[in-house]
């Protein structure tokens, strides 16, 4: 695929999982009737291959839609988001909040509240981990398994499940649906112990964009109406 607190309890786990998963591209493979060990080894082999490729990206821009399905509250809501990444910097727009990380400080702009909170990277360690650094997180944090071939529209895809090794986390499973021909992610599903599931559909994914470093720092002069709360 992973923190900032967002409305509707989307939470830290969702954001980091999102940043991890939308950067994964997994090559196609056809395997049938494998043992669990074979499924795990096959999944890891292709994740390793694509991770090495993706780490060469200098910049990333992706747009996505998140559906939050809360079984306990019997509610389902859709939210559109945008992620820009460059090196260890990123800018994430989601749920009327914009999070900036410029490598040194994290700023969360609560758009509806006209408030921006600034913290040092060490005081927001999880949020300060850039998407590029998360590319290899699965190597230590997840067990993986190829599940099945599926078809989404006209696209031939595979499903790969990731299970966190840390049983204390709220995440029980992350399922990646990957298009075979392009090795791009079509959909992400994350299940939580609290009964809430997150479905992420990737709308666009481009690399090599010319992104100015200024995009990763909140500019208070450009938004004088916003109250800046410095928590450093």
Q: What is the mean pLDDT of the chain?
A: 74
- The reported pLDDT for the residue numbered 112 is 93
**pLDDT confidence bin for 201, thresholds 50/70/90:** confident
pLDDT digits (tens, 9 = 90+) for 57-106: 788 888 888 888 988 888 999 989 898 988 878 898 988 889 898 988 88
What is the reported pTM?
Answer: 0.71
Residue 97 near residue 108, CB atoms below 8 Å: yes
pLDDT digits (tens, 9 = 90+) for 143-180: 778 888 889 888 888 888 888 887 887 778 888 887 77
- The reported pLDDT for the residue numbered 131 is 42
pLDDT value at 216 more than 90: yes
Distance from the Cα of residue 230 to its chain's centroid = 26
**CA-to-CA separations, 12 to 34, 147, 180, 185, 227, in angstroms, rounded:** 35, 27, 30, 21, 24
pLDDT value at 45 more than 70: no
* CATH class of residue range 7-223: mainly beta
Residue 47 main-chain phi, psi, to 5 deg: -65, -40
Which position has the higher pLDDT, 182 or 149?
149
Distance CA 39, CA 54 (A): 22
- The reported pLDDT for the residue numbered 186 is 78
Q: How many CA atoms lie within 13 A of 158 on its CB side?
A: 23
Domain ranges (residues) in the chain:
7-223
């Amino acid at each position: 695929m992973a923190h900032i607190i967002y409305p509707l309890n989307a939470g830290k786990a969702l954001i980091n999982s999102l940043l991890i998963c939308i950067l994964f591209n997994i090559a196609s493979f056809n395997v049938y009737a494998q043992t669990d060990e074979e499924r795990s080894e096959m999944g890891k082999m292709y994740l390793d291959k694509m991770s090495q490729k993706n780490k060469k990206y200098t910049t990333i821009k992706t747009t996505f839609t998140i559906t939050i399905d809360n079984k306990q509250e019997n509610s389902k809501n859709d939210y559109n988001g945008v992620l820009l990444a460059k090196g260890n910097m990123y800018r994430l727009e989601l749920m009327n909040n914009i999070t900036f990380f410029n490598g040194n400080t994290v700023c969360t702009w609560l758009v509806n509240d006209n408030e921006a909170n600034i913290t040092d990277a060490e005081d927001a360690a999880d949020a300060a981990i850039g998407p590029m650094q998360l590319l290899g997180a699965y190597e230590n944090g997840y067990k993986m398994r190829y599940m099945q071939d599926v078809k989404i529209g006209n696209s031939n895809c595979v499903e790969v499940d990731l299970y966190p090794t840390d049983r204390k986390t709220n995440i029980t499973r992350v399922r990646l649906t990957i298009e075979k021909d392009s090795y791009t992610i079509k959909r992400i599903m994350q299940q939580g112990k609290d009964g809430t599931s997150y479905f992420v559909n990737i709308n666009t994914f481009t690399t090599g964009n010319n992104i100015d470093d200024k995009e990763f720092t909140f500019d208070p002069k450009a938004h004088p109406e916003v109250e800046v709360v410095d928590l450093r």
